[in-house]
Structure 1
């Protein structure tokens, strides 16, 4: 296959998967808010850390936290020293579960076009590509901002996390 055609196919597939996933995951939240809710499902973090991991400036992260608090999805905790931590409410935890379920359903649907053997082969290729992409992006948190972290680490290792540790 001609290299430019292969690159074109990869680009079209990547955008289509991203568009489909975001459409199904962000039905009621923005992409940044959805990523923040998924991230906060792992535990409370500071607003600064939340912004860094989601890819927002400090001021945009503050606005995002404000909107999540207004929506009843997150709450600010008492200060831990000079830092205020942000965590999910029970509604926020349910929203995180719903977001991850919608993401999983979408991506599983995309993969259903492949046989079990093709999925296994694709898995190895994606690990290789993600390791390479980490070299360009340099942030596992940013790359995996909508990931179901447990799905990637249960019974295996996360290639992005491994690239970050190397």
Structure 2
């Protein structure tokens, strides 16, 4: 029984990932890592290239090339700040692209959930919160786990389960 459930979860996770990435990358005309970088920078402006790369799963050199591409597209810019430190910020065009991507990301997710009734959505919310708490325990980094999240959406009127898991881990 658990093997079937795990398989169903895997297929669902992959299908949702494919839908979300297709919509997000199309909305901004960037790669999957570029899409994640735009969303990360919209929530945490001024990250260094290395930290940005860590959050989106790229090496420092790959992150630098990705930022080059975002700069060439007019979506981001590097800014020097004292010494050798370089921070990446979104341009106005990059901020608009990130907002479009979050909207585009939301559409297939909301569409997928339309097959569920109110009680089922409530139950799924509780189950996903529990699973995300467990995943935080395995991944151990909210910035990585939530790299494609609409952070405002997750914290309006509720507690983000990943953020709570991170606070709980810090207290231990």
TM-score, scaled to structure 1: 0.95
Q: Report the more deviating stretch, 39-48 or 96-105.
A: 39-48
Please tell me the root mean square deviation across aligned C-alpha atoms, in Å.
1.1
CA distance in structure 2 between the aligned counterparts of 1:156 and 1:82, rounded to whole angstroms: 40
Figure out how many residues of one structure are paired with residues of the other and give that number: 165
The structure 2 residue matched to 1:87, chosen from 74, 86, 89, is 89
Q: Secondary structure at the match of 1:85?
A: strand
C-alpha distance after superposition, 1:101-160 (max 9, x if no partner): 001111111111111111011000000000111111111111111100111111111111
Structure 1 stretches lacking a partner, 5+ long: none
> Given the superposition, is the C-alpha separation of residues 3 and 94 from structure 1 closer, same or farther in structure 2, using an over 3 Å criterion?
same
Match of 2:152 in 1: 150
Q: Report the more deviating stretch, 142-151 or 20-29.
A: 20-29
CA distance in structure 1 between the aligned counterparts of 2:164 and 2:82, rounded to whole angstroms: 30
C-alpha distance after superposition, 1:2-44 (max 9, x if no partner): 2211111111111111111111111221110000001111222
* Match runs of 1:1-166 below 5 Å: 2-27=1-26, 28-42=29-43, 43-166=45-168
CA distance in structure 2 between the aligned counterparts of 1:109 and 1:67, rounded to whole angstroms: 32
Give the deviation of 1:82 after TM superposition.
Answer: 3.0
CA distance in structure 1 between the aligned counterparts of 2:133 and 2:72, rounded to whole angstroms: 38
CA distance in structure 2 between the aligned counterparts of 1:151 and 1:23, rounded to whole angstroms: 20
CA distance in structure 2 between the aligned counterparts of 1:55 and 1:65, rounded to whole angstroms: 14
